[in-house]
Amino acid sequence: MQAVIPEELEVKIEKLSNMGLGIAKAGGFVIFVENSCPGDFAKVKIYKKNKHFAFAKITELIEPSSQRVEPFCPMQKVCGSCQLQFINYDYQLVLKREIVKDAMHSIGGEEFEVREVIPSPQVRNYRHKIQYPIAQTKNSKRILAGYYKPSSHEIVNIKYCPIQPEICDRIIEFIRVEAQKLGISGYDETSHTGILRHVVMRASDYSGKVLVVPVINSEKLPENVRTFSEKIFDKFDEVSGISVNFNTKKTNLILGEKTQNICGEDYIEEKLCGKIFKVGAKTFFQVNPSSANNIFEYVKKYISENFESPVILDAYAGITAFGIALSDIAKRVVSVEEVKESVDLARQIVKENNINNIDLYNMDAGEFFRKQLDKYGKCFDVTVLDPPRKGCTNESLDYALKLTKHKIIYVSCNPATLARDLKYLKEKGAKVDFIQPFDMFPHTYHIENAALISL
């Protein structure tokens, strides 16, 4: 028989879920509470209930946790991007470590060693990739640009965001005004009408330059969008270039397949581990360069202390950021990436950094693994796996085990899929030495991890 809980009740927040919600328990129910911190004692109101759990909002904070702080952004509660900004930063790191440990236990079924989280060097102005959905008000035709409210597609019109470079606020405000002046309509996802769907910005921590990418609901470039692009480029010295992306599909994917450079360069430059990288509109690159540098330096130091001139496989390589960062300590690096644009950029980066020991392959990782195994067998001292959030397939993990002599370093932004894949590797005989978390996304529930695995 299902337990009955009242619509309003008082609860104590015990811990944080992997989605950044506070967890309380009452009458056999788990209650997920928005904008709550472990240690809070609060009156909450249930707004959604399932068989074994419910969702609630705080109506009265009776006794706040000692770890609560005043958010530095006035939009924190309505924006939905910085779920943990009201929690002391040092305590955020403690909670994120617990999220990783919980995932390893509940999904991986193991108590792997999870080390203390290495903090982000920047906790404000750290986000260097900005993706604003665009809409338009019905009556005034005012252009809206910002982030979605939690669990909705309602845009919060963001004028100031303290976790991204200040120049991005000025650019997006100019875009709001100029788009309306030029009759460029905002996108309506319900009717699939309107021209301007998103504005993506890639900002460089190294140079201060910004690549601006308007995403339009059109197969061809309208003349007013060309004029609009030129105006943005002329207005801001910080803008390195404007590249328009075309996306006419009814999809939640932000970028379409085709991108056209309109003004200036079609990339920005970023510096990590002493190497200069080119980052384009569709390039996968970490949003927090200073924290990414921490990860690369950590992995580089670990490998150099344990190997002399190793042969390294960089799988799911993107623009080969790991491989390029590790090239100084490697005899040879083999990089595998299926996105052609990323491999083309990697070739440029390798050439411009005068690197001569990297082999680049533009192909699916699984297909490469299969061919490499047939030809060379177990030939890599270290394999670096840095897959998308969905993790690796069992087939890819099997090949990594067969191709690697000594160590797999698995870098993941998703503790759940990492736990699943580590469980699989352990069942196949691998040993998980430890997991080192890095805070790539301060004030959110997201956490990056590097798992060190021995074979």
Q: Which residues pair with 411 in a beta bridge?
A: 450
Specify the domain boundaries for CATH 3.40.50.150 within the chain.
Answer: 94-121+288-454
User: Which residues, including other chains, have CB under 8 Å from residue 79's CB and lie 6 or more apart?
Assistant: 73, 146, 147, 149, 156, 158
Given a cut of 80, is residue 324 above it in pLDDT?
A: yes
CATH code for the domain defined by 8-68: 2.40.50.140
Q: What is the Cα Rg of the chain in Å?
A: 23
331 close to 272: Cβ distance less than 8 angstroms = no
Residue of 37, 161, 263, 413 marked catalytic: 413
pLDDT at position 1, please?
A: 45
Mean pLDDT of the chain: 94
What integer is the mean pLDDT of 267-289? Answer: 92
Looking from the CA of 312 toward its CB, the CA atoms found within 13 Å total: 30
**Residue 2's pLDDT band (boundaries 50, 70, 90)?**
low
Query: DSSP string of 235-267?
Result: H-TTEEEEEEEE--SSSS-S--SEEEEEEE-SE
Give residue-wise pLDDT tens across range 404-422.
999 999 999 999 999 999 9
Q: Which residue has the higher pLDDT, 320 or 108?
A: 320
Amino acid at 97: R
Q: Indicate the CATH number for domain 94-121+288-454.
A: 3.40.50.150
Q: How confident is the model at residue 127 (pLDDT cuts 50, 70, 90)?
A: very high
Mean pLDDT of 262-280: 94
pLDDT above 80: residue 349? yes
Q: 379 an active-site residue?
A: no
Q: What percent of the chain has pLDDT over 90?
A: 83
Q: Quote the pLDDT of residue 3.
A: 60
Instruction: Report the CATH fold assignment for 129-271.
Output: OB fold (Dihydrolipoamide Acetyltransferase, E2P) (2.40.50)
- The answer to whether residue 296 scores a pLDDT higher than 50 is yes
* CA 133 to chain centroid: 17
Please count the CA atoms within 13 angstroms of the CA of 260 that sit on its side-chain side. Answer: 13
- pLDDT on residue 179: 97
Range with the lowest mean pLDDT among 131-140, 260-269, 371-380, 438-447?
A: 371-380
Give 173-223 pLDDT, tens digit per residue: 999 999 999 999 999 999 999 999 999 999 999 999 999 999 999 999 999
Contact present, 50 and 27 (Cβ < 8 Å): no
Q: Tell me: the pLDDT tens digits for 359-384?
A: 999 998 888 888 888 887 789 999 99
Q: Which residues pair with 404 in a beta bridge?
A: 380
Within the chain, all domains assigned CATH 2.40.50.140 are found at 8-68
Q: Where in the chain do CATH 2.40.50.1070 domains reside?
A: 129-271
Tokens of 328: 């100084």
What does the pLDDT look like over 77-126, one tens digit per residue? 888 789 999 999 999 999 999 999 999 999 988 889 999 999 999 999 99
